[in-house]
Each structure stands twice: as structure tokens, then as C-alpha cells.
Amino acid sequence: MPIENHTLVNELPEFKDTIHQLKMTDAHFKKLFEEYNFLTEEIEKMEKEIVLTSTFQEEEFKKRRLLLKDSLVNYLKNATEQKTASA
């Protein structure tokens, strides 16, 4: 059963504006963001049993999403630091 909403903005509300800005201006960030959303949607389908899969595969998707989230958090922190340094 899904426990909560795992969208990136919900997971990282403090970066909401930076997420929006990077989606509009940074192709690499946008690609990572879209991959995160894809994995989140697939995991939700697995959890709701819309897509039948093994527990192993579901856990692998969750691990991939977690690694991707770590990359996105680092990306967002770097973007925030650069923005602060140039202000």
C-alpha cells in the first residue's frame, strides 16, 4: 500500500522554486526529474497492484528512485549554493 505522495516537490518542499527553475532551464536536471517521476509512477502502480510484479523488482525500483533522489538533492543543493553565491 502506498504510504504517502513521493513527488519530488512533496519530498523536498524547500526546493520547490529551484525545482521549477531547473526544469525550465537545465536539460540534464529535467531528464533526472522525469526519470524520478517515471519510477515513482511505476512504484505506485506496483504498490496498488495495477502492475503485477515481484517484490524483488519493486524493491529494485525503489532503490533506483532513492539513488536518483540523492542525485537530485545534490543537484538542488549545488544550484541553491550557486544562486546564493552570485546574489
For 24-61, the pLDDT digits (tens) are 999 999 999 999 999 999 999 999 888 889 999 999 99
Q: Report the alpha-carbon distance of residue 7 to residue 3 in Å, rounded.
A: 12
Q: Report the alpha-carbon distance of residue 5 to residue 7 in Å, rounded.
A: 6
Show the cell assigned to 79: 544550484
- Give me the mean pLDDT over the 2-30 stretch: 90
**15 — pLDDT class (breaks 50, 70, 90):** very high
Output 87 or 84, whichever has higher pLDDT. Answer: 84
Show the cell assigned to 42: 511505476
Q: How is the chain split into domains, by residue range?
A: 15-78
Q: Report the alpha-carbon distance of residue 49 to residue 43 in Å, rounded.
A: 10
Q: Report the alpha-carbon distance of residue 50 to residue 47 in Å, rounded.
A: 8
Close Cβ partners of 48 (under 8 Å, ≥ 6 residues apart) = 1, 2
- pLDDT tens across 73-82, in order? 999 999 999 8
Output 12 or 84, whichever has higher pLDDT. Answer: 12
